[in-house]
Amino acid sequence: MCGIVGAVAQRDVADILLEGLRRLEYRGYDSAGLAVINNSEIQRLRRVGKVKNLADSVAESFPQGGTGVAHTRWATHGEPTEANAHPHMSQDRIAVVHNGIIENYKELKAELSEEGYHFSSETDTEVLTHLIYKLLSQGECLLKAVQTAAKTVTGAYGTAIIDKQNPDVMVVARSGSPLVIGLGIGENFVASDQLALLPVTSRFIYLEEGDVARISRKSVEIFDKNGEQVERKVNLVDAKADSADKGEYRHYMMKEIYEQPTCVRQTLEGRISASGIETGIFGQGFEEVVPKINHVTIVACGTSYHAGMVAKYWFEQYANVSCSIEIASEFRYRKFYVHDGSLFVSISQSGETADTLAALRLAQEQGYLSSLSICNVMGSSLVRESDYHFMTRAGTEIGVASTKAFTTQLVSLLMLVLTIGKHKGLPAGVELEIANALMQLPSKIENALLANKEIEALAEEFADKHHALFLGRGDQYPIAMEGALKLKEISYIHAEAYAAGELKHGPIALIDAEMPVIVVAPKNDLLEKLHSNVEEVRARGSILYVFADKDAKFQSEENVRVINVTPTEDIIAPMVYTIPLQLLSYHVAVIKGTDVDQPRNLAKSVTVE
Ligand code: G6P
């Protein structure tokens, strides 16, 4: 949440900062600002709303300077007003951008106010800003002032600070919120996500927890949490600078929906073939862990949590191990029982979700056999801190509503099921069947995408609805949940998902002609049960939208719209049935005119609690 970009260069950096903010806008988009040092003065611009508003004012006032910081905000403390937008300044000397939450800001604010500091915003960041200024004015250098301030504040921060009295230096610090340094030639950068810096560099240093760095044009000095100077690895990132482009699509979300066949292919490549799952794909040493696994604990948030829910069905059916799945924000605050031989699996697109990361750290203290993260961002905190990691190769996902990350997470989890299953009595024939089904998945998704026009037409019927109910059974229940989440995230229609068998235990009371009911109905062992549920809904006057296999014996008739989905093997049906639900929510949102890629109040990467 919130995006940070900073630069120390010889050239003017306002455009680099703005481009970085545009690329980070998915992290927060209620206000934006930048500050550059120009002739030993700080020039600051802040605007409410999207980065475009800031870009307009940059175009009018041409701020010049080679050292600068910028920020796109997702409000935590204080409304999205210009006064609350970053950068924050103290006595016109320093400018600070910050991502995270300073938990003891009230106490610090009281102390600083008493000492005469004036607060012009409601933010916690301004407290950090005055605190750093106070330490500077006591004679500390910028690096030392930030190190001391870092010890005084509690909570999470990723921060970058510039000081007009040290115009060629920027100091950055990380604790709980990601920061990456981008290395240029005669210029250096910082950002909360490397994506922001891909137009200017492909060499990155990921800061560790507690690191503080002093960055100049020609040098980067990093100090760890104990204040010791340390070397951190330089990583070359092989990502195309244009991966943040929409291409021919109107929205990132649609582009990402259509990328799914390719992303799934990439995720499978070299890891599975017609002769089964390859060994060693979860990293060196993981094969030795596998025989010891008796239980799998999955922890995740949002869409990633739904992927984990599907996997629970698979682990218990095919890998012969028990599996529990939990939302990270619940897991981290309760007393839990660790089964012998428990593998801790975290799932995250970003690898920076605060609750998921905290759950991993907690699990590492609690005697789990080992930890594995399934993640889409190389170098992310989750990847670096887990014993093993497995990359979903979905490429950069920009749309706030997760799509391609979800399907590639499912594919990755299924490969984990096979890897564990092989040691737990999964018959070779079943492994081959699953492997072959997975190999066909990209073309099955391509077929599912062909329903786009039909679904677009159907979406018209949802535009004036206020509520929707999604029903599924078995491993399609989490898919119904994911469908409901997509609809509420981007179209703001209240949507709920129920396991169809629960219908009679409450939600049936809600059903009337104003409540559309969406059913995911592949042809599987539960189909007959689902038929009965559908009849119960129909009898109560609701309009039904049934996504079903051609031979699932559903027919369009009055108040029932059947959308045929390509028949598919049971095991990959969750991925295939996800596609039409993604398309449905996308088209409903477009018809309603909402901001599809940056829906209100949401952020792509939730790096604060
Ligand atoms: C936010 C995003 C969701 C995402 C969730 C978990 O809520 O808007 O799309 O599913 O975070 O994120 P993660 O990066 O951990 O998968």
pLDDT digits 0-9 by tens, 56-102: 999 998 899 999 999 998 877 778 899 999 999 999 999 999 998 89
Residue 115 has pLDDT above 90, yes or no: yes
**AA letter at 481:** M
Among 123-137, 275-289, 593-607, name the one with the lowest average pLDDT: 593-607
The mean pLDDT value of the chain amounts to 92
Q: Is residue 609 part of a domain?
A: no
Q: CB within 6 Å of ligand 1 — which residues?
A: 301-304, 348-350, 353, 356, 400, 402, 602, 604-606
Find the mean pLDDT for residues 520-542: 81
Q: Is 2 one of the annotated active-site residues of the chain?
A: yes
Is the per-residue pLDDT at 238 higher than 80?
A: no
Q: Is 607 part of any domain? A: no
15 with 150, same domain: the answer is yes
Q: What is the pLDDT of residue 141?
A: 96
Tell me the CATH number at 260.
3.40.50.10490
pLDDT over 90 at 566, yes or no: no
Which of the residues 164, 404, 523, 604 is marked catalytic?
A: 604
* Number of domain units in the chain: 3
Query: Do 407 and 556 belong to one domain?
Result: no
- Based on the fold, state whether residues 370 and 414 are members of the same structural domain: yes
DSSP tag of 238: -
Cut 0.85: pTM above it? no
Q: What is the pLDDT of residue 241?
A: 47
* 505 shares a domain with 390: no
CA of 202 to the centre of ligand 1 (A): 25
- Best of 353, 397, 404 to mutate for ligand 1, by most ligand atoms within 8 A of CB? 353
Which of 373, 391, 426 is where one domain is finished? 426
Mean pLDDT confidence for 161-180: 94
Same domain, 364 and 323: yes
Closest ligand 1 atom to 382 CA: 15
Which three-class secondary structure state does DSSP give residue 258? helix
**Looking at residues 538-567, what average pLDDT do you find?**
85
CATH of the domain at 133: 3.60.20.10
**Which atom of ligand 1 approaches the CA of 356 most closely?**
15
More confident site: 477 or 1? 477
Report d(CA 572, CA 286) in Å as an integer. 25
Q: How far is CA 520 from CA 329, 407, 453, 475, 506, in A?
A: 28, 16, 19, 10, 20
Residues 24 and 123 in one domain: yes
pLDDT digits (tens, 9 = 90+) for 354-378: 999 999 999 999 999 999 999 999 8
Q: Are residues 274 and 317 in the same domain?
A: yes
First to last CA, the chain: 10
Between strands 3-8 and 67-73, the pairing is antiparallel
Q: How far apart are CA 582 and CA 304, in angstroms?
A: 15
435 occurs within a structural domain: no
Pocket test for ligand 1, best of 2, 177, 253, 301 (most atoms within 8 A of CB): 301
Confidence of residue 525 (pLDDT cuts 50, 70, 90): confident
- What's the rounded mean pLDDT across residues 527-553? 83
**Whose Cα sits closest to atom 4 in ligand 1?**
302
| pLDDT band (50, 70, 90) for residue 598 | confident
251 C-alpha to center of ligand 1: Å?
Answer: 18
User: Over 90: is that where the pLDDT of 471 sits?
Assistant: yes
Q: Report the alpha-carbon angle 389-394-397, nearest 5.
A: 110
Mutation probe of ligand 1 site: the residue of 74, 381, 605, 608 with most atoms within 8 A of C-beta: 605
State in Å: Cα 273 to ligand 1 middle.
30
Of all atoms in ligand 1, which is nearest to the CA of residue 304? 16
Q: Give distance in angstroms: CA of 577 to centre of ligand 1.
A: 20
Side-by-side strand order, sheet with 157-163: 88-90, 94-99, 157-163, 170-175, 212-215, 220-223, 229-230
Q: Is the torsion defined by CA of 102, 107, 111, 116 positive or negative?
A: positive
Instruction: Say if residue 280 is exposed, middle or buried (CB neighbours under 10 Å; 0-12, 13-18, 19+).
Output: exposed
- 386 and 508 inside one domain: no
393: three-class secondary structure by DSSP: coil
Residue 239 has pLDDT above 70, yes or no: no
Shared domain for 415 and 484, answered yes or no, is no
Q: Do 191 and 287 lie in a common domain?
A: no
- Boundary-marking domain end, from 426, 460, 478: 426
The predicted structure's pLDDT at residue 243: 63
Separation of 436 CA from ligand 1 center, angstroms? 30
Residue numbers of the domain that contains 202 = 3-236
Asked if 405 and 304 touch (Cβ cutoff 8 Å), the reply is yes
Closest-CA residue to 86 (of 151, 11, 27): 27
One domain, residues 195 and 260: no
In degrees, rounded to 5, the angle at the alpha carbon of residue 413 between the alpha carbons of residues 531 and 1 is 100
Domain boundary (236, 268, 293) is at 236
Is residue 242's pLDDT more than 60?
no
